[in-house]
Amino acid sequence: MSEISLDVVVRETTGTGESREARRNGLVPGIIYGGDEAPIAISVKFNEMLSAINSGNFLSNMVELSHSGKKQKVITKDVQFHPVSDMPVHVDFYRVTAKSIIEVEVSVTFIGEDDSPGLKEGGTLNVVRYAIEVKCPAGQIPDEIEVDVSKLEIGDSIHISEVTLPKNVTPSIDDRDFTIATIIASRAETTTDEEADEVAVADVPATAQTSED
C-alpha cells in the first residue's frame, strides 16, 4: 500500500468561525492529537484531501503530514462529511510511529469460491463481516485479510480462528470466536424443496372417514 502524503498548515486560532473561514478558502480544517504532544489545529487543501479520500487508502491507514519541512506520521481517525454535499468538512489525525500498536478495520477478501462444494451446489455466500477490526503495528497495516471458503459446504461457517492473519496482526475481539461468513442454501433451492414437500403431501390419499350410527 502506497503511503499518502499531505501538506498541512498549522492554524493559530480555532473555533467555528475560523473553521468556516478555512473552508471558504478551499481548506479542510482538522486536528492532530495523541502521543506525548498537545493537540494541534491544522488545515489541508480541499483538493488534496478529496484525492486522498478517493484513493481508498486514507481512512485508518498511515499518512505522512508535512509542515515547514517537518514530517509527522499519523493515522486518519475520522473524517466528517457535509450532510448534503457529502464533501469533507473536518478531519482528525492521531500521531503514531511505525511501531505503535493501533486498532483498525481491514477489509475482507474471500478466496476459493470456485472450489467451495457448497457454492458449487448452488449455495450462497452469506457475508457476516466485510471488515475485521484488528490490532497491529501502524507500519504493518495489511491491505486486506484473505478468508478461504474453498472447503465450505452448505450450512458451514468460517470463524476468525480459522483465518490465517498476517504477522503481528491479531483480532481486536478476543473473547469469542466470531463468524465471518456462512454458506446458505439459495432462495431458489429452498422454494423448490418447499414445493416438492407440498406436492408429496398432496399425493397422499385422504384417510377415509368413518361415522357412527
Top-confidence range, 48-62, 70-84, 171-185, 194-208 = 171-185
For residues 90 and 19, the answer to whether their CB atoms sit within 8 Å is yes
Integer Cα distance of 55 and 24 in angstroms: 24
Greater model confidence, 84 or 37? 84
d(CA 37, CA 94): 11
At residue 2, the pLDDT reads 56
Segment 23-34, tens digit of pLDDT: 888 899 999 998
**Residue 46 clears pLDDT 90, i.e. is over it:** yes
- Residue 213: pLDDT band (50, 70, 90) is very low
Higher pLDDT, 206 or 60: 60
The pLDDT of residue 197 is: 55
Task: Give the model's pLDDT for residue 55.
Answer: 87
68-72, 137-141, 179-183: range with highest mean pLDDT: 179-183
Longest Cα pair distance anywhere in the chain, in angstroms?
Answer: 107
Give the pLDDT score at 187: 67
Mean pLDDT of 128-152: 94
CA 128 to CA 156: how far, in whole Å?
13
Pairing outcome for strands 4-10 and 62-67: parallel
Alpha helices by DSSP H, the chain = 16-24, 46-54, 117-120, 187-202
Other Cβ atoms within 10 Å of 39 Cβ, number: 13
pLDDT confidence of residue 195 = 54
Band of pLDDT at residue 185, cut at 50, 70 and 90: very high
Most confident range (mean pLDDT) of 6-15, 60-69, 135-144 is 135-144
**Domains identified in the chain and CATH numbers:** 4-96 (2.40.240.10), 102-196 (2.170.120.20)
C-alpha distances in Å from residue 48, one per residue of 19, 20, 41: 17, 18, 17
Could you give the CA distance from residue 87 to residue 90 in angstroms, rounded to a whole number? 9
All cell numbers assigned to 180: 465471518
